[in-house]
Structure 1
């Protein structure tokens, strides 16, 4: 069993495990309980009422957080001609086709997100065994396979994050940094929950948002009242 440090014990000691917190209070606690010497990420874990073992209940998509994640993202675009030029003008870090594919096949993955025009997917598909396990494979459902590469690049740079249910039906998404104002974290959380609600599968029955926990990179998880989360999402 992993040993719990003094700082973590002190942070956990400030939590009331018998209650669910309102989003604003929970995120304020996350900020107060962060004890690392770096600007920790603020992460959200949402337990959904779905069974990802069934393909019609997999929840996957992307959302542009109104205040970003506090982290700059390196974007690679597979495109040719005018679309390659549009991607470069929009701020893409790497743009190309066969040359980028060859670099990736040789083991290079120095980027955070890959975007591709539909005509490039034949080339990109050959890289699936490398990009897939790293979560870097372009996908139409997350807006990373598109002819509008300029918009895709700009949105990613502004703070677009992808989400996908894991085996247990949980979605993990970063919504900012502990240095963010609470109001910005709440608005980012609201945008995420709103996107998840809109992505609700028709096959999902009963309560959909079943549990929400927020935490910093090193800090303890703070449970949030799902009903209160729905309240802030409705105002998104």
Structure 2
């Protein structure tokens, strides 16, 4: 078994594993227990009382973080030539159609978000096997299949993210960077949590938000008191 470093021991000693914290307390604490030399990502893990295998209990949505994600997202726009200038002006990193479809078919996925337009979905649809498992497949529900290409690109660059409950009923999502001040982490996290609360499926019975944890890369996780979120 690997030995714990002094920094790791100190970080773990600051978190009372038997206690759940308010979002404000947890946002401050996660900064205190982050010991990485790089600017760590701060993430939420939310366990929901839903059965994702049932279509009427799927929880999926989009949210724009008030303070952004803290990282620059690489955006690919798959569009027809008449939309290319609009995409580039909005800040897209890669713009085109057939040549990028071919690259993706050959295994290229060095991107964070793919945006396309309805008229191009006939071609883009065949990329599902490559993009689907990586959560990169454009979807009208997340605003990544749209004719308003410029707006979609700007929103992603400003901090718009999409989230989806996994097969275990958990949503994993980033809420910023450890370099953010605690208030920004709190506000970003709250924006996501309140959105998820509003998306509660009517078919979901019992406790909806079972547990919420916040952590940074390689840090101990901090439990958030779900009763303080409503």
State TM-score, norm by structure 1.
Answer: 0.93
Conserved in 1, the CA contact under 8 Å of 2:27 and 2:183?
Answer: no
Q: Which residue of 2 is the match for residue 123 of structure 1?
A: 123
Change over 3 Å in CA distance of 1:4–1:123 after alignment to 2: farther
User: Following the alignment from structure 1 to structure 2, what is the Cα–Cα distance between the partners of residues 2 and 102?
Assistant: 44
1:85 aligns with 2:85: yes
Q: Which residue of 2 is the match for residue 57 of structure 1?
A: 57
By how many angstroms is 1:189 displaced? 0.9
Note the aligned Cα RMSD (angstroms): 1.4
Change over 3 Å in CA distance of 1:197–1:85 after alignment to 2: same
1:216 aligns with 2:205: no
Q: Which residue of 1 is the match for residue 98 of structure 2?
A: 98
Q: Which residue of 2 is the match for residue 157 of structure 1?
A: 157
Conserved in 1, the CA contact under 8 Å of 2:115 and 2:145?
Answer: yes
1:143 aligns with 2:143: yes
Give structure 1 regions of 4+ aligned residues with deviation exceeding 2 angstroms: 1-10, 81-85
User: Following the alignment from structure 2 to structure 1, what is the Cα–Cα distance between the partners of residues 179 and 189?
Assistant: 15
Conserved in 1, the CA contact under 8 Å of 2:118 and 2:145?
Answer: yes
By how many angstroms is 1:212 displaced? 0.7
Change over 3 Å in CA distance of 1:101–1:210 after alignment to 2: same
Aligned-partner SS, 1:62: strand
State TM-score, norm by structure 2.
Answer: 0.95
By how many angstroms is 1:21 displaced? 0.4
Q: For structure 1, which segment, 30-39 or 12-21, has the greater mean C-alpha deviation from structure 2 after superposition?
A: 12-21
User: Following the alignment from structure 2 to structure 1, what is the Cα–Cα distance between the partners of residues 4 and 58?
Assistant: 35
Q: Which residue of 2 is the match for residue 66 of structure 1?
A: 66
User: Following the alignment from structure 1 to structure 2, what is the Cα–Cα distance between the partners of residues 85 and 197?
Assistant: 38
Q: Which residue of 1 is the match for residue 188 of structure 2?
A: 188
User: Following the alignment from structure 1 to structure 2, what is the Cα–Cα distance between the partners of residues 99 and 87?
Assistant: 16
Q: Which runs of 5+ in 2 are unaligned?
A: none
Report how many aligned residue pairs link the two structures. Answer: 230
User: Following the alignment from structure 2 to structure 1, what is the Cα–Cα distance between the partners of residues 166 and 4?
Assistant: 26
Q: Which runs of 5+ in 1 are unaligned?
A: 231-236
Aligned-partner SS, 1:44: strand
1:133 aligns with 2:120: no
Q: Which residue of 2 is the match for residue 111 of structure 1?
A: 111
Conserved in 1, the CA contact under 8 Å of 2:81 and 2:96?
Answer: no
Q: Which residue of 2 is the match for residue 29 of structure 1?
A: 29
